[in-house]
Amino acid sequence: MLSVSNISLRYGKRVLFDDVNIKFVPGNCYGIIGANGAGKSTFLKILSGEIDATTGQVSTNPGARMSVLKQNHYAYDAYNVLEAVMMGNVKLMDVIREKDEVYGKPDFSEADGLRAAELESLFAEMGGWDAESNAASLLSDLGVKEEHHGKKNDGD
Ligand SMILES: Nc1ncnc2c1ncn2[C@@H]1O[C@H](COP(=O)(O)OP(=O)(O)O)[C@@H](O)[C@H]1O
Ligand SMILES: [Mg+2]
């Protein structure tokens, strides 16, 4: 569950939100609609923790992790649908990237070996082994059929 309590946001004198309270509950898929400039993007930035609200709190269940993708969807053109979903887990993707770098070193040192071991354990702790199947389940739950998971924005 994602819980929004008493969120207000002001830019100077301008009040964008005043005392917003919402609970996003499991099993539902939510969309936010509103006129241009109404504050949709700003609200999502508050939800994801990118910016702080003037008042109020956003809370999730203990241990819950939030995945967030950039609003600029062109940012994922180089990746297929499944990869793009996984990129929402930025910390895991950083670990995967560093793991690839370390293993790709032509002069793999003892220190590199230790770092690789650390990265492997971080990867496992973060559910790295299940990340792909979790992303596939998430997409399927949203109604995106498996036949589309390997596709890219350019139609590949
Ligand atoms: N950092 C900021 N400082 C002042 N005003 C801002 C800032 N960020 C957004 N706004 C204003 O807040 C309003 C909501 O913006 P935004 O959330 O991008 O709207 P939407 O995504 O619904 O089109 C707009 O009027 C925008 O100009
Ligand atoms: Mg917007």
Which amino acid, one-letter code, is at 111? A
Helix (H, G, I), strand (E, B) or coil at 24: strand
The predicted pLDDT at position 156 comes to 54
Give the whole-angstrom CA distance, residue 72 versus residue 51: 17
List Cβ neighbours of 125 (8 Å cut-off, separation of 6 or more). none
Please give the distance, rounded to the nearest whole angstrom, from the Cα atom of residue 30 to the centre of ligand 2: 16
Q: Which ligand is nearest to the CA of 52?
A: 1
The predicted pLDDT at position 27 comes to 86
User: Which residue has its alpha carbon closest to ligand 1 atom 25?
Assistant: 37
The predicted pLDDT at position 153 comes to 80
Q: Could you tell me the two tokens for 100? A: 């690839």
Mean pLDDT, the chain cut into blocks of 10 residues (156 residues total): 96 93 93 94 95 95 91 92 95 96 95 97 96 95 95 75
Other beta carbons less than 10 A from residue 45's beta carbon: 17
The predicted pLDDT at position 46 comes to 96
The predicted pLDDT at position 155 comes to 57
Cα angle for residues 91, 86, 63 (degrees, 5° grid)? 55
Please give the distance, rounded to the nearest whole angstrom, from the Cα atom of residue 54 to the centre of ligand 1: 14
Give the whole-angstrom CA distance, residue 148 versus residue 66: 23
Domain ranges of the chain: 2-60, 73-148
Specify the DSSP class assigned to residue 38. S
pTM of the model as a whole: 0.84
